[in-house]
Amino acid sequence: MSVRPWRDIERRKSRQIMVGKVPVGGDAPIAVQSMTNTLTSDAQATIRQVNEIAEAGADIVRVSCPDVESTAALKEICKNVPVPIVADIHFHYKRGIEAAVAGAACLRINPGNIGSAERVREVIKAAKDHGCSMRIGVNGGSLEKDLLEKYGEPCPEAMVESALDHARILQDNDFHEFKISVKASDVFLTVAAYHALAEAIDCPLHLGVTEAGGLRIGSVKSAIGLGSLLWAGIGDTIRVSLSADPVEEIKVGFDILKSLGLRHRGVNVISCPSCARQGFNVIDTVEKLEKRLAHVTTPMSLSVIGCVVNGPGEARETDIGFTGGGAGKDFGQVYLDGEPDHRLDNDKILDHLVELVEKKAAEIKAREEKESVAAE
């Protein structure tokens, strides 16, 4: 048992598959992914966007392949990006074969939608021949007609039945390198469907609240839906679906994982909402700090609190902390590794904290490299 058992999350045990070089499921880190919104047929534009998404921390990136021009561009795309590419295929089995041949690491495809059993076998053979995994993607807004007639509306039972029907086709063809998603724009439906699916099959699960909305409301809906599932131990890879820059999806995804202690990337800033007691402008300072520290990928924590009510307590739990002296005071206290270290004038907060964080990140990186060499 851990020191703080109330923070423990016991992840659902799933089998592990590979999406290119990225393990998904089992005890692998929860992978964060997004999707491009460029025309995939425009290889250079798509490469640029994939690289931007990867720079933000994405493990996997999906591209849509609706036509032969898109799959033709896929070979160049896959060769010029640092992350595995998932090719999104909907109805045409030939696009799936072309994508696998072109170097896609995974096909997002529902085998029941692509025609005859022979066509399904052709796609599966191409996936096997080229080391390509698959994602079955069930969506509450596009359930099969017979399931809607059977259940009367999109519901968890219909979504899970659809997912298992598609999975059975792959299993019957001795293909087991797949993960499943059961997404809906309704948080309740999404969460219930994933809980039921998690009990019904042992494959990795790709989480998402689909069509969640714009940056603000979409982030909130995703945090509630994905957060509750992850807290319950369900989920092996996530996508936050936003009507926003795909880079924002990666940031929000990592923020959700950081909040649950499941994965860390960059600086976790703990800050107060500010009040009349603040000794400096907390809101302005934190906004500027987040922008200036966006390049730091080393996991660490930074507390920025306006006064001494909660400041010292928060600083004790963070790598670096700054607590304002209170209203009317032009200085505050800097904490390092939880201990008071030195005072700092308010007009020097920004530059000094950035300097401390960058120094700490360099120390952590050097220590990790030394330990890695020693372990070899």
Residue 112's pLDDT is what? 74
At residue 375, does pLDDT exceed 90? no
SS (H, E, C) 126-146: HHHHCCCEEEEEEEHHHCCHH
Rounded (5°) CA angle 110-63-183: 45
pLDDT confidence band for 376 (50 / 70 / 90): confident
114 within 8 A of 65, measured Cβ to Cβ: no
196 within 8 A of 204, measured Cβ to Cβ: no
At residue 95, does pLDDT exceed 80? yes
Residue 374's pLDDT is what? 83
At residue 1, does pLDDT exceed 70? no
**Average pLDDT value for residue range 161-174:** 95
Share of the chain above pLDDT 70, in %: 100
**Average pLDDT value for residue range 352-357:** 97
Neighbours of 329 (CB within 10 A): 14
Tokens of 295: 């390049």
Residue 343: phi, psi to the nearest 5? Answer: -85, 155
Which of residues 328 and 307 earns the better pLDDT score?
Answer: 307
Sheet holding 178-183, edge to edge: 178-183, 133-139, 106-108, 85-88, 60-64, 31-35, 237-239, 206-207
Which residues make Cβ contacts (< 8 Å) with residue 64, sequence separation at least 6? Answer: 35, 36, 40, 70, 88
56 within 8 A of 251, measured Cβ to Cβ: yes
Residue 252's pLDDT is what? 97
Name the pTM for this structure. 0.92
Residue 90's pLDDT is what? 79
pLDDT confidence band for 113 (50 / 70 / 90): confident
The string of pLDDT tens digits covering residues 322-333 is 999 877 788 999
All structural domains of the chain, each given as residue ranges with its CATH number in brackets, are: 11-259 (3.20.20.20), 267-375 (3.30.413.10)
The string of pLDDT tens digits covering residues 218-245 is 999 999 999 999 999 999 999 999 999 9
Q: How far apart are the first and last CA of the chain?
A: 30
Question: Helix (H, G, I), strand (E, B), or coil: what is residue 299?
Answer: coil
* Amino acid at position 9, single letter: I
Residue 281's pLDDT is what? 94
**Average pLDDT value for residue range 124-145:** 94
